[in-house]
Amino acid sequence: MVLEQRNYRVARGPSARGGEIDLVMRDRDGTLVFVEVRQRRSGDHGGAAASVTFAKQRRLVLAAQHYLLRFASLPPCRFDVLALDGEQVEWLQAAFEA
């Protein structure tokens, strides 16, 4: 995969929370991959992957929609989560759908 953008942020408004995408990457097959990186010291309370709540997913989708405005034709996309629990690293491809 190739890194296209890091820490892409979009505001929703002066008082409404926007979204941020930690990494925007391009997979070998051309798929645009929006990656959320989550870190926890341990797997207690569900771990890093479980911390990507529905509200967080909505903010990621909002930011991804904004990012995609730059394309004349939309590439295939997916949302991945890179979960870091202590020393354990897990890359969850297609962790959720928009």
- The rounded distance, in Å, linking the Cα atoms of 87 and 54 is 26
Give the predicted TM-score (pTM) of the model: 0.90
> In the chain, what is the greatest distance between 2 CA atoms, to the nearest angstrom?
44
What is the separation, in whole angstroms, between the first and last Cα of the chain? 21
* Structure token digits, residue 57: 């997913």
Per-residue confidence of the chain (98 residues) as pLDDT tens digits? 999 999 999 987 776 677 999 999 999 999 999 999 999 876 666 789 988 999 999 999 999 999 999 999 999 999 999 999 988 999 999 999 98
Domain limits for position 33: 2-96
- Describe the strand order of the beta sheet including 88-96 as a list of residue ranges: 2-10, 19-26, 32-40, 77-85, 88-96
pLDDT confidence of residue 43 = 61
Q: Residue 53: give its domain's CATH number.
A: 3.40.1350.10
pLDDT confidence of residue 9 = 93
The total number of structural domains in the chain stands at 1
